[in-house]
Structure 1
Amino acid sequence: MRGPRPRHTLGFALFFLTVPWVAGPAPAHAQGEGAAITATDLAAVHARQIGPAVTGGRITDLAIHPDHRSTIYVATASGGIWKSVNRGHSWTPLFDDQPVAAFGDVTLAPSDPEIVYAGTGEQNNRNSTSWGNGVYRSDDGGATWRHLGLEGTRHVGRILVHPDDPDVAWVAGLGNLWAPNEERGVFRTRDGGLSWEKALYVDEHTGAVDLAYDQTNPDVLYAATYQRERKAWGFNGGGPGSGIWKSTDGGSTWIELTNGLPAGDKGRIGIAVSPSHPNVVMALVEAPTAPGDTPEEGRPGAFGPMRRDPGATGTYRSEDGGATWQKMSDENGRPMYYSHIFIDPNDPELVYSASTNSVKSEDGGRTWTTIAAQPSYDVGVHLDMHAMWFDPDDRDHFYLAGDGGLHETFDGGSSYRKINNFAIGQFYAIGVDQRDPYWVYGGMQDNHSWMGPSETRRYDGILNDDWQQTGFSDGMYQQVDKGGPRNVYVAATSGSYNRVDVLAGTKRPIGPVAPAGERYRFDWTSPGLASMHTEGLFYLGGNRLFISRDFGETFERTEPLDRDIDRDSREVMG
């Protein structure tokens, strides 16, 4: 597979910098000791993309032109918006000249699909989530954009555009992930984004994460509100502000829907309305653990990846426009990161949920089967999906997108075409070696660790095939030993390191071993550093600084560098 053309650059695809030879005076930083780099210096620096595209990358949403289905728009977590006019065989980046690259939604106006609304800031609540600066609009299919405001929403969960009037739109704004703020909730415009009114607001901790409407009567709206906040030490993903709301007057007034839904605090919620039977509404609802079910007896209930009540969390269905709800099943994988539910355009019983293992139900959510199986680790369709699009004329044809990029199926999910020809991967960290040409090493969000050459002798340049995998899981820091690529320190999550001989293709786990009765602690992205001066000298950061002088075989340690505070005792959301 040929990689992306060098002329396209974007946020988190790897690039390196070249400075062309220019006759004339030396740059300012060379004329005086310690002089700052100037704008003139930077103007001479040009980025050249080197990939990789082979892995795909985190996609948050996609949209297909209803009249020209070869035209695809893809919104990414931090790589901008991309467009293809030939079903994904080639791509054009649409946001390289804009100040943001993180997106939660891209939506086409049904009455004029050349009008595109884009909501910035991804809606998934990871510690690596990137924020945006509001909403943008294009009237020419993404060729040009104008900013419509709503900067404080920071993370946009969903945009709906009126089916008949492209100037009427609704935005689900989550607000600041890291602090309370008031610019969150559901916003409405009736003049194409020139002005906005706050249609639904709960409080400074609660935003809106999802929206759906009756396509035959867009005055009937459903909104999912979500109370959440993240700190450096933890995440609280729920509270009394979370819920499902309904409006029958286009968003002017709202009522909360509760009959049959879990009582009390709730977490993230995803909603969908059947296009063919609009009284059918589906929801994925997260409920907290009950008090006393956590390791600390009597502690209040909590939300998080592994803290939810299986008795209340699950798939809910209403057949009377939300007046009453029935729990159909426990299906709702890792709600804080997914909560994506979809209903087939023509069949209200055919329901899909995109999550770690994406599934479908043919009986309205009662039972589920996997649609994107992995026969073995990292073989098949990548896990962790966030978006889907369904062909209204062929129920077996749909797109599935997520952390591993974009996939297309024509047989209902039995097999897929992976569309991995545009570089949208997110790199946590990179390193380089001293070969000529030098090689670049990178750790990627949910797409492993890789290495690739900075240049090749081929006319076509650097290809996907030139990139080689060096590690698994989320890749993190990558450090090459002073002695060369026979010893490369490759990190995954939470302080997990391997020493890799990239020439021989072998690896060995390394890391400090804690004495009996003690546990070392590491951050999600635990830093590692290979000495530039001494072979075999490697530093690893955790709650202590760990130092190895023998390529990671053994480690010394410093005194503890933390304050020994139980993070579960600290307040996340007041």
Structure 2
Amino acid sequence: SADSLKNISLNGLKFRGIGPAVTGGRVTAIAVNPNNHSEYYIGSGHGNLWKTVNSGITFSPIFDNQGAYSIGAVAIDPTNTNVVWVGTGENNNQNNVIYGNGVYKSEDGGKHWKNMGIKNSEHIGGIVIDPNNSNIVYVAAYGSLRNKGGDRGIFKTTDGGKTWENILYISEYTGCFEVHMDPRFSNILYAVAHQRMRKLYTGVSGGPESGIYRSTDSGKTWDKMTNGLPKEDVGRIGLAISPVNPDVVYAIVEATKKDKGFYKSTDRGVSWSKQSSYISSYPFYFQKIFADPIDVDKVYSVDVFMQVTNDGGKTWKRAGSKNKHVDDHYLWIDPGNNKHLIAGCDGGVYESYDQAKNWNFKANIPIAEIYKITVDNAKPFYNVYIGTQDNNSLTGPSRTISSGGITNQDWLFTNGGDGFETQVDWKDPNIIYALSQNGGLVRFDKRSGENLFIKPYEFADTAYR
């Protein structure tokens, strides 16, 4: 066609980042160097992999040239922290989850990467490395969300990723959401299986194949843990081993109204007792727990507002979300100082030094998930308008005369919630129309800051027309 780009040279064009980082995006994985807590990795379900070496003062994208940009798991080799493993494909179950192409390995702290296989997994839920032998790695392959088959279950390598063995396979519809290793005995493993499938018209979020499996012989054989746990209609499960006493294992279990709840084992998963009926608000989106490294009874649960229990799961309360975005997905707890936390949520990365009373936002990771982009006719430089997943609608300049370039201060919020499409008045770029979820519509005036809700409503009018 006449407007085709096929015959136009685009070699002279180069993309440049304009932001914003004033808000973050969905963070699904965090891995902190055990020997140097100022160095850590941030994995996003849609925004790739980032690294800081200075406690988050700056972050660098380190995975841009690879074959996937959705991250489900990150693990650092505890005996050689230059070795980093990354599982691609987001580990959640919402309608739109981006798939990956297997597991990657870096041997130089993220400078170079190699795809090590399990490419048909599409989504990786977890990775653990044997602290006694770096060549032994276990991977939880979640499998495709919308297709049966592929790589599912627990995979093991004994040669650093050159070859893999599928040591736990359940079925073509059931993969593994998590894999855990007893910190004292690397032969003891726990795998969390989840039976799931999404189609355009429906979603299956559980079944009898979901459950907790345990191995005591490094994955050669597995037993399904059933004593005290729900057995039939079981959904997504999050599991945590207490670092204080690894005989204590916790599980948050999606199940029937009667059986769902928070469970505890004091004998390495052999038997379980229900502590409460609490589960996360949306198990398909949250449902991960993190045991405190100092207090055996303290456990955190990611949720719309992060929850915490101080009595082994009997009672729960909000951990603290002052000046913090909602919808948490991951939590790192400093092994030597349990007041120090790093949380990953829909709004990016937050750090606390007072056990979640106050949070510091890392306003330098531009990973907002953008649904729609619009531009206006402003001069001399046009403005860019975006709607983002759970991070509002914003506008920012395409260029600036500032020698410092475009900064977070140049971006302006035009509407809250999940931002979608924005349109701007053709003649007056100060008048903006911004959509949000459920058909919400506002008219925003840049000059005055007025935000007027103008969504049309159909009233009960039965008059003849």
Alignment TM class, shorter chain as reference: over 0.9
Q: Give me the whole-angstrom Cα distance separating, in 2, the residues matched to 1:484 and 1:193.
A: 58
Letter in 1 for 2:351: E
Deviations 1:515-571 (A, max 9, x none): 6499xxxxxxxxxxxxxxxxxxxxxxxxxxxxxxxxxxxxxxxxxxxxxxxxxxxxx
**Which residue of structure 2 lines up, in the alignment, with residue 415 of structure 1?**
358
- The answer to whether 1:351 aligns with 2:299 is yes
User: Comparing 491-500 with 462-471, which one deviates more in the overlay?
Assistant: 491-500
Offset at residue 85 of structure 1 (A): 0.5
Alignment of 1:510 with 2:454, yes or no, is yes
Query: Are positions 1:460 and 2:429 aligned together?
Result: no
1:365 and 2:313 correspond? yes
* Number of residue-to-residue matches in the alignment: 460
Judged with a 3 Å threshold, the aligned counterparts in structure 2 of structure 1 residues 368 and 33 are, in CA distance, closer, same or farther, namely: closer
Q: Which amino acid in the other structure matches residue 58 of structure 1? A: R
- RMSD, aligned α-carbons: 1.7
CA, structure 1 residues 33+397, in 2 after alignment: closer, same or farther (shift >3 Å)?
Answer: closer
- Give the 4+ runs in structure 1 shifted more than 6 A: none
Query: Per-residue deviation at 1:117?
Result: 0.3
Conserved 8 A contact 2:144-2:150: no
CA contact (8 A) 1:153 1:183 kept: yes
Q: Give 1:137's aligned residue.
A: 105
Aligned to 2:90, the other structure's residue is in SS state coil
- Give the deviation of 1:177 after TM superposition: 0.9
Tell me the SS of whatever aligns to 1:494: helix
Cα distance in 2 for partners of 1:247, 1:198 equals 14
Q: Residue 35 of structure 1: CA displacement?
A: 5.2
Residues 242-285 of structure 1 deviation map (CA, whole Å, 9 limit, x = unaligned):
11110111111111001111131111101111123111100110
Residue aligning to 1:175: 143
C-alpha offsets along residues 330-388 of structure 1, whole Å, 9 cap, x if unaligned? 221121111110111233212111111112212111122312235xxxxx111111111
Q: Does 1:313 align with 2:225?
A: no
- In the alignment, residue 363 of structure 1 is paired with which amino acid? D
1:12-27 correspondence runs (5 A): none
Q: Is the 8 A contact 1:182 1:203 kept in 2?
A: no
Query: How far apart are the structure 2 equivalents of 1:195 and 1:352?
Result: 36
Could you tell me whether the CA contact under 8 Å between 1:485 and 1:501 is conserved in 2?
A: no
1:56-103 deviation digits (Å, cap 9, x = unpaired): 111101111111111011111111111111000011110111121100
Q: Which structure's CA Rg is the greater one?
A: 1
Q: Residues 175-574 of structure 1 correspond to what in structure 2 (within 5 A)?
A: 175-288=143-256, 309=257, 311-333=258-280, 334-374=282-322, 380-436=323-379, 437-514=381-458, 516=460
Q: TM-score, normalised by structure 2?
A: 0.95
Aligned AA for 1:415? N
Shift of 1:499: 2.5
Report the identity percentage.
40
CA contact (8 A) 2:289 2:302 kept: yes
Q: Secondary structure, in 3 states, of the residue corresponding to 2:437?
A: coil
Compared with structure 1, are the counterparts of its residues 505 and 234 closer, same or farther at alpha carbon in structure 2 (3 Å cutoff)?
farther
Equivalents in 1 of 2:5, 2:300: separation in Å?
55
Q: Which is worse superposed, 502-511 or 467-476?
A: 502-511
* Whole-Å separation in 2 of the counterparts to 1:36 and 1:487: 32
1:375-407: CA deviation from partner (whole Å, max 9, x where unpaired) = xxxxx1111111111111112111111111111
Give the whole-Å Cα distance in 2 for the aligned partners of 1:396 and 1:149. Answer: 38
Q: Residues 348 and 365 of structure 2 are in contact (CA less than 8 Å); yes or no, is this contact kept in structure 1?
A: no
**Cα distance, 1:447 vs structure 2:** 0.7
Conservation of the 8 A alpha-carbon contact between 1:62 and 1:75? yes
Residue in 1 aligned with 2:61? 93
